Chains A and B, each alone.
Chain A
Amino acid sequence: MSQLLLDVNGLTMRFGGLVAVNNVNLSVHNRQIVSIIGPNGAGKTTVFNCLSGFYIPSDGSVVFKGEQIAGLKDFRISRKGLVRTFQHVRLFSNMTVIENMLVAQHRHLNTNLLAGLLKTTHYKRLEQEAMDRAAYWLEQVDMLEFANREAGNLAYGQQRRLEIARCMVTQPELLLLDEPAAGLNPRETKQLDELIVQLRDEHEISVLLIEHDMSLVMGISDHIYVIAQGTPLADGTPEEVKNNPDVIKAYLGEE
């Protein structure tokens, strides 16, 4: 049996009187692609915000690799290996592609200032490793030839791929992707589909996905959670979720 990587229990997020997320449970195992689906405004992104440290959950526990992370600062959570993307692209658009990749490895280059100024061999080796890792991941997402381009000038689909590559150089164990297929054309969506599967199968990381593109979700997910109005509605394999009457009702309305 695979190991439990993320275990969320009774996650609740209240904004004043509004309950945006109500008692959500979910778990992600090693090498799993897990999706969260639900109508617009269901609270999916709020769940992501709670997991990644953007919000401090009002209630509930978030255990990542056996450790409680709810309430930790976002950069600490990221350092533990839980990294996210956003619905809209958030690249450093004035920086080049390669610089985006190097910023993400900032803490792996963590040497003292003096070592950086003196360019010690240790520092040079770390820098070379960071460069190699950046090149490797750019190659994985077919972006190596654009390494010196300014990120803001890339096509939209390329920007989305670069974002994933940038997450990957931080060496995460769990990647949270918030609607990665939004705005992509069918061909780009297919590339993304292949990339996510490759992340799981070849790079052995887990992916937690929010997505509206049902063919993508149904095709690659190991497990799906359905949320409606902040409350868990159902969960199961793609097959089970597809045939769940509650889910059909929530999406299509009652007959």
Chain B
Amino acid sequence: MTEASLYLLQQLINGLTIGSTYALIAIGYTMVYGIIGMINFAHGEIYMIGSYISFIVIAGLLGMGMVALPVILLIALIVAVLIASTYGWTIERVAYRPLRGSNRLIPLISAIGMSIFLQNYVVLAQGARDIALPPQISGGWNFGDPQLFEVSLSYMQLIIWAATFVCMTALTLFISRSRIGRACRACAEDRGMTNLLGIDTDRTIAMTFIIGAALAAVAGLLLGLYYGVVNPFVGFIAGLKAFTAAVLGGIGSIPGAMLGGLILGVTEALTSAYFPSEYKDVVSFGLLVLILLFRPSGLLGKPEVEKV
């Protein structure tokens, strides 16, 4: 292989890694949009909180002298998912449910308020500066030609791919096969009718917030470990990226969010590889503008039909 193609391969590996985590966060945007037609702008903050909780748990367990890394990570994962889900559920209950039935713009404003609140709450509780965690999972494979360009695939990247794959598969099965998944789909199609069939749709909606938050927490743990730092503002930009991914794939569509995340991740990696990396965000958000202009329903979304 030539140097250029090895370099490209490395960028694809990096892009798919970031893209996977965008996809995990994007699910929360797309499911909530699909079911109640609102953009939950506080969702990025859930991801940030998930990251913080993972850091706190990992540091705490290490401090207590625990050495078995898989156990530490598993505990961190469970605690982060549980706490983040509680946040997701509470946000819906406190900030969105009382506003249901009002103008679409109003819950959106409430969401922005929630986002600002959570950011500042973490600033107060944890400080505004970066919190760093020494790398827990190091090593990986190097291949390619050491003379030209050595491609590295770290274990951490593999773990991110695997975890994303497992989460996405589980979610897909849950939505397509399970009783609650069926109710979620029914609710997304016609909430009023779902209610009339005796289903408490408030509970179904709460469930989508819980699922979205759990996946965001998984992303929080993974990206936290990957980058090794977290600060109270990481949720804002990651949230925007994941939102872009959801729109790219077609907001409301779960496979769309997965695809959109991966495409966005790869696009960013390629942009920073061949252009100054400052252009990364310009390209991502430029992409968002282009999609909104030329294909507002996204890659896999269905064009919106006016409801009679």
**A residues in contact (CB < 8 Å) with B:** 52, 54, 73-75, 78-79, 83-84, 86, 88, 90, 92-95, 99, 102-104, 106-107, 109, 113, 116, 166, 170
B178: A residues at CB distance < 8 A:
116
Nearest Cβ on chain B to A129's Cβ, whole angstroms: 13
- Interchain CB contact (< 8 A) of B200 among A75, A93, A166: A75
Nearest Cβ on chain A to B220's Cβ, whole angstroms: 23
Asked whether, in the complex, the Cβ of A107 is within 8 Å of the Cβ of B198, the reply is yes
Given contacts A102-B182, A106-B182, contact A92 B199 (CB under 8 A): no
Given contacts A102-B182, A106-B179, contact A83 B197 (CB under 8 A): yes
Given contacts A103-B183, A116-B178, contact A93 B189 (CB under 8 A): yes
- Interchain CB contact (< 8 A) of B195 among A75, A102, A113, A116: A75
Q: Please measure, in the bound complex, the distance between the C-alpha atom of A218 and the C-alpha atom of B192, giving whole angstroms.
A: 31
B119: A residues at CB distance < 8 A:
none
Nearest Cβ on chain B to A20's Cβ, whole angstroms: 19
User: For the complex, is B68 an interface residue (Cβ under 8 Å from A)?
Assistant: no
Nearest Cβ on chain B to A103's Cβ, whole angstroms: 4
Given contacts A92-B190, A103-B186, contact A78 B179 (CB under 8 A): no
User: For the complex, is B194 an interface residue (Cβ under 8 Å from A)?
Assistant: yes
Asked whether, in the complex, the Cβ of A95 is within 8 Å of the Cβ of B308, the reply is no
Nearest Cβ on chain B to A115's Cβ, whole angstroms: 10
Nearest Cβ on chain B to A108's Cβ, whole angstroms: 9
User: For the complex, is B93 an interface residue (Cβ under 8 Å from A)?
Assistant: no
Q: Please measure, in the bound complex, the distance between the C-alpha atom of A107 and the C-alpha atom of B179, giving whole angstroms.
A: 9
Asked whether, in the complex, the Cβ of A75 is within 8 Å of the Cβ of B198, the reply is yes
**B residues in contact (CB < 8 Å) with A:** 178-180, 182-183, 185-186, 189-190, 192-201, 308
Chain B binding surface SS class: helix
B180: A residues at CB distance < 8 A:
113, 116
A93: B residues at CB distance < 8 A:
189
Asked whether, in the complex, the Cβ of B198 is within 8 Å of the Cβ of A95, the reply is no
Q: Which residue of chain A is the closest to B201 with respect to CB atoms?
A: A75
Given contacts A54-B192, A93-B189, A103-B197, 18 further A-B contacts (CB under 8 A): A75-B197, A75-B200, A83-B198, A84-B196, A92-B185, A92-B193, A94-B189, A95-B186, A102-B179, A102-B182, A103-B183, A103-B199, A104-B197, A106-B183, A106-B199, A107-B199, A116-B178, A116-B180
A94: B residues at CB distance < 8 A:
185, 189
Q: Please measure, in the bound complex, the distance between the C-alpha atom of A109 and the C-alpha atom of B177, giving whole angstroms.
A: 14
Name the residue among B192, B198, B200 with the largest chain A CB count within 10 angstroms: B198
User: 15 A-B Cβ contacts within 8 A?
Assistant: A73-B195, A78-B196, A83-B198, A84-B196, A86-B193, A90-B190, A92-B190, A95-B182, A95-B189, A99-B182, A102-B179, A104-B197, A106-B179, A106-B182, A166-B197
A102: B residues at CB distance < 8 A:
179, 182
Asked whether, in the complex, the Cβ of A106 is within 8 Å of the Cβ of B189, the reply is no
- Interchain CB contact (< 8 A) of A170 among B179, B182, B198, B200: B198
Q: Please measure, in the bound complex, the distance between the C-alpha atom of A93 and the C-alpha atom of B305, giving whole angstroms.
A: 13
A116: B residues at CB distance < 8 A:
178-180
Name the residue among B186, B192, B195, B197 with the largest chain A CB count within 10 angstroms: B197
- Interchain CB contact (< 8 A) of A79 among B185, B198, B201, B308: B198
A90: B residues at CB distance < 8 A:
190, 192-193
Asked whether, in the complex, the Cβ of B196 is within 8 Å of the Cβ of A52, the reply is yes
Asked whether, in the complex, the Cβ of B308 is within 8 Å of the Cβ of A106, the reply is no
Q: Please measure, in the bound complex, the distance between the C-alpha atom of A90 and the C-alpha atom of B190, giving whole angstroms.
A: 8
- Interchain CB contact (< 8 A) of B197 among A54, A106, A109: A106
